[in-house]
């Protein structure tokens, strides 16, 4: 099995445990945890707020059965500014004060295993 490390925590979480299987740092991920199942790959979403140019790093995962799949970020729920605003603010430990629906306030690049695999900016 795979050990739970500090890198398996969600940004701004106050819990020292895996976000998915709830196992503590130093323990072992459960067998069905998405961080150890082969259908997902851990990634970093680099979320850029267009109005300020500020970029935050949001740890998440992408579906990779049959290859990396970025549908959620391209056309699915994560392509909308309302979700991206939540991810952006929560990495800083805050909640957004107002959320606009749309697709122009935030851009993302997705890094998998140290390489940008999906790019919307720069």
Q: What is the pLDDT of residues 28-46, one digit of tens each?
A: 888 777 776 667 778 899 9
Q: What is the pLDDT of residues 19-31, one digit of tens each?
A: 888 889 888 888 7
- Rounded to whole angstroms, what are the CA distances from 53 to 56, 60, 98, 108, 121? 10, 21, 18, 12, 11
Q: What is the pLDDT of residues 4-24, one digit of tens each?
A: 877 777 766 778 888 888 889
The answer, as to whether pTM is greater than 0.85, is: no
In terms of residues, how long is the chain? 122
- Rounded to whole angstroms, what are the CA distances from 104 to 50, 60, 79, 88? 8, 21, 10, 14
């Amino acid at each position: 099995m795979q050990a739970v490390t500090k890198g398996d925590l969600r940004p701004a979480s106050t819990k020292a445990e895996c976000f998915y299987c709830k196992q503590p740092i130093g323990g072992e991920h459960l067998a069905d945890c998405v961080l150890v199942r082969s259908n997902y790959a851990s990634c970093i979403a680099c979320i850029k707020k267009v109005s300020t140019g500020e970029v935050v790093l949001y740890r998440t995962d992408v579906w990779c059965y049959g290859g990396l799949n970025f549908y959620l970020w391209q056309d699915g729920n994560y392509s909308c500014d309302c979700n991206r605003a939540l991810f952006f603010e929560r990495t800083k430990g805050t909640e957004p004060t107002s959320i606009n629906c749309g697709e122009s306030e935030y851009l993302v690049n997705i890094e998998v295993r140290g390489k940008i695999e999906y790019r919307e900016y720069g």
